[in-house]
């Protein structure tokens, strides 16, 4: 039969293990998704280079898969996560309330980033049209 002190130590370590495990899980998910993205980009690049070496025209569909990283959205999501965790910690709220706050602030950050980048995109296009240059028409 375990001693009461050992049981108390085990009971007190469960939240810490769960918290550290959740952070490790997030890091693993991010690393796996980044690895997949890099593999996909490498395959697109190799296919594009093979087409260029053979003298074939590069179809515009190759350019659609290439996107610049959206640092505004990444930054806003991280700020929102920090704010949600801070509010959750300071308010001593239950688990479902904290998870709801995290999801709410993440969604809010993504919406703000969308509106900021859309406004910046509209300001950069003089005619307001959705013209995107392609390989055939580099204007």
Nearest 5°: the CA angle 81, 83, 87 is 120
Our measurement of the distance from residue 134's CA atom to the centroid of its chain's CA atoms, rounded to an integer in Å, reads 27
Q: Which residue has the higher pLDDT, 73 or 4?
A: 73
Angle between helix axes 71-91 and 95-124 (nearest 10 degrees) is 160
Q: Above 70 in pLDDT, residue 63?
A: no
41: DSSP letter: H
Flag whether the pTM goes above 0.85.
no
Query: How confident is residue 39, by pLDDT bands cut at 50, 70 and 90?
Result: very high
Mean pLDDT of the chain: 79
Number of H helices, E strands in the chain: 4, 0
Q: Which residue has the higher pLDDT, 88 or 3?
A: 88
């Amino acid at each position: 039969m375990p001693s009461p002190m050992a049981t108390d130590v085990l009971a007190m370590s469960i939240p810490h293990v769960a918290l550290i495990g959740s952070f490790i899980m997030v890091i693993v998910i991010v690393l796996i998704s980044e690895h997949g993205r890099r593999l996909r980009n490498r395959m697109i690049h190799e296919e594009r280079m093979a087409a260029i070496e053979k003298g074939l025209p590069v179809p515009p569909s190759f350019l659609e898969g290439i996107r610049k990283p959206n640092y505004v959205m990444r930054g806003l999501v991280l700020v929102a996560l920090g704010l949600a965790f801070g509010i959750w910690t300071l308010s001593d709220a239950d688990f479902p309330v904290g998870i709801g706050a995290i999801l709410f602030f993440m969604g809010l950050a993504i919406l703000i980033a969308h509106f900021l980048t859309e406004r910046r995109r509209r300001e950069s296009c003089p005619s307001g049209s959705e013209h995107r240059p392609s390989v055939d028409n580099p204007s």
